[in-house]
Amino acid sequence: MKKYPFLRKSIVHQVLCILLVLLLAPIAVAQQQAATDEIVGTWEADDGSVKLDMYKAGSEFQAHLLYGNHVMESDNMTFKKDEKNPNPVLRSRSLKNIVFVSGLHWDGSGWSAGSLYDGSSGRTYHCKVEIAEGKMQLRGYLGIPALGQTKIFHRIRTQS
């Protein structure tokens, strides 16, 4: 080995690189998981019109409707029935705790490919979610995101 000292340095360098990768890989996976689950918790629209509980269901994220001023009776405590649902069988159900956001998947920078059910109209829209500066931006749209509307939410609490 005295004749070829560069071989020794090269092997040591390769072993150190492999060890570094093996040590850092779990940290990167944990950070990715933390970003993916950042959406989980209870959120309220900044204008107070909607409150939802976002949770993980298998490989996707969904949300239960906890409150919505367009889906409440005039007493502001009783949820309306799902009277405008395109499925006649579901028209007699209460809108309380319905899954109104479903199918969201983490895409590396946000959550996309979801569906948003609007109980006040009976329509279903595409949706995507981003979180920036602690605020959740839920965008519902038809066709392309540019043809939609974004509602801003603040976190009330995280799920444990």
Q: Is 28 found in the same domain as 64? A: no
DSSP 7-21: HHHHHHHHHHHHHHH
Q: Which residue has the higher pLDDT, 5 or 152?
A: 152
Q: Is 77 found in the same domain as 112? A: yes
Q: Is 153 found in the same domain as 97? A: yes
Q: Which of 158, 42, 58, 59 is nearest to 107 (CA)?
A: 59
Both tokens of 25, joined, read: 């890989």
Q: Is 45 found in the same domain as 6? A: no
- Quote the CA–CA distance of 55 and 127 in Å, as a whole number: 16
Domain extent, residue 32, equals 1-37
Q: Is 127 found in the same domain as 76? A: yes
Q: Is 23 found in the same domain as 77? A: no
Q: Which of 119, 109, 131 is nearest to 85 (CA)?
A: 119
The model's pLDDT over 98-157, given as tens digits with 9 standing for 90+, comes to 999 999 999 999 999 999 999 999 999 999 999 999 999 999 999 999 999 999 999 997
Where do the H-state alpha helices sit in the chain?
5-36
The model's pLDDT over 33-49, given as tens digits with 9 standing for 90+, comes to 458 999 999 999 999 99
- Contact in structure between 128 and 145 (CB atoms under 8 Å): yes
φ, ψ of residue 111 to 5 degrees: the values are -115, 130
Within 10 Å of residue 131's Cβ, how many Cβ atoms? 16
27: pLDDT strictly greater than 70: no
Q: Is 29 found in the same domain as 96? A: no
Q: What is the pLDDT of residue 35?
A: 84
Q: Which residue has the higher pLDDT, 28 or 76?
A: 76
Structurally, how many domains does the chain consist of? 2
Q: Is 85 found in the same domain as 108? A: yes
The model's pLDDT over 56-111, given as tens digits with 9 standing for 90+, comes to 999 999 999 999 999 999 999 999 999 999 999 999 999 999 999 999 999 999 99
Q: Is 58 found in the same domain as 111? A: yes
Q: What is the residue type of 104? A: L
Q: What is the pLDDT of residue 53?
A: 97
Provide the CB-side half-sphere exposure for 147 (13 A, CA).
5
Q: What is the pLDDT of residue 28?
A: 37
30: pLDDT strictly greater than 50: no
φ, ψ of residue 47 to 5 degrees: the values are -90, 0
- In this prediction the pTM is 0.76
Q: Is 14 found in the same domain as 92? A: no
Q: Is 69 found in the same domain as 23? A: no
Both tokens of 20, joined, read: 């570094």
The model's pLDDT over 111-125, given as tens digits with 9 standing for 90+, comes to 999 999 999 999 999
DSSP 140-159: EESSSTTSEEEEEEEEEE--
